[in-house]
Amino acid sequence: MDLKGRIKNAERIAVLTGAGISAESGIPTFRGADGLWKQFRAEELATPQAFQRDPKLVWEWYDWRRQKCAQAVPNPGHLALAELERIAPHFTLITQNVDGLHALAGSKHILELHGNIWRMRCVACEAMRESREPLGGELPHCDCGALMRPDIVWFGEALPQQVLSEAFSCARSAEVFLSVGTSAWVMPACQLPVVAKQSGAYVVEVNLEKTPISEMVDEAHHRKAGEILPSLLGVEI
């Protein structure tokens, strides 16, 4: 049965997305040709040690990315997944992205594995703040006086436990699992399509380049997500 037929018959569908689904919205990916890591080194920026050492540098990088995200609008890839959620009985969108574009596209049941670039939290009292304002070079502080940090999971930090366990149980129970726009390289997110496959799901990858899971999946489409997702999923956007 083709993917459209499987989607029509599926009770439970889960999707894992990565930076590639936001590339057509103008947000640079991490490891691709124009990747963020080319200009920056992850260990100098996306780690607690980096923030400890130079919070101003880390915040400058995030402020630059927040402005990129603020100019971005959802593309047909995001919209196709939001439409798929409307027709599937049980649907979970698991994203590694921090740009908030899935919510803007209308997706509802979203698990943000790596946090959200619009949220910041106090390093001392954990108070949260949601803001889309540019930081204007100022380091954000909490009312308690301590520094605020991006509410993002950095390398070497644990993912939010609740979100992670729900993501794995969705991967285990999905009949159809899509991996879209991720290099399937970063743990533990990259294990989700593997667990889905081992649990009997029909797994489809949509990613521009080959990845470590491309051999394992039932269908691999090395095309742009925004270009093929609506027709591949059989949804009108």
Q: Beta 202-206 vs 219-221: how paired, if at all?
A: parallel
The single residue among 80, 113, 122, 170 that binds Zn ion, judged by CB under 5 A, is 122
Q: Which amino acid is at 221?
A: H
157 binds ligand BV8 (CB under 6 A): yes
Cβ distance to ligand BV8 smaller for residue 12 or 31: 31
Stretch that binds Zn ion, among 4-12, 112-120, 138-146, 179-187 (CB under 5 A): 138-146
Phi, psi of 14 (to 5 degrees): -130, 145
Contacts of ligand BV8 in 196-225 (CB under 6 A): 206-209, 211, 224-225
Minimum distance from CB of 147 to Zn ion (Å)? 9
Cβ distance to Zn ion smaller for residue 120 or 217: 120
Q: Which does 158 bind (CB under 5 to 8 A by kind): Zn ion, ligand BV8, none?
A: ligand BV8
148 binds Zn ion (CB under 5 A): no
Dist. CA 115–CA 150, nearest whole Å:
9
Q: Which does 144 bind (CB under 5 to 8 A by kind): ligand BV8, Zn ion, none?
A: Zn ion
The single residue among 185, 198, 200, 231 that binds ligand BV8, judged by CB under 6 A, is 185
Cβ distance to ligand BV8 smaller for residue 68 or 90: 68
Cβ distance to ligand BV8 smaller for residue 7 or 25: 25
146 binds Zn ion (CB under 5 A): yes
Strand order in the sheet with 148-152: 128-130, 115-122, 148-152
CB-based closest residue to ligand BV8 = 20
Q: Determine whether 114 is an active site residue.
A: yes
**DSSP sequence for the chain:** --HHHHHHH-SEEEEEE-THHHHTTT---SSSTT-HHHHS-HHHHSSHHHHHH-HHHHHHHHHHHHHHHHH----HHHHHHHHHHHHSSEEEEEE---S-HHHHHT--SEEETTEEEEEEEETTT--EEE--S--TTPPPB-TTSSBEEEEEPPTTSPPPHHHHHHHHHHHHH-SEEEEES--S-STTTTHHHHHHHHTT-EEEEE-SS--TTTTTSSEEE-S-HHHHHHHHHT---
The single residue among 73, 128, 139, 144 that binds Zn ion, judged by CB under 5 A, is 144
Contacts of ligand BV8 in 28-57 (CB under 6 A): 29-32, 35, 46
Dist. CA 231–CA 178, nearest whole Å:
14
Q: Catalytic: which of 78, 102, 114, 221? A: 114
Residues that bind Zn ion (CB under 5 A): 122, 124-125, 127, 142, 144, 146
Residues that bind ligand BV8 (CB under 6 A): 18-20, 23-24, 29-32, 35, 46, 96-98, 114, 152-158, 181-183, 185-188, 206-209, 211, 224-226
Tell me the catalytic residues.
Answer: 114
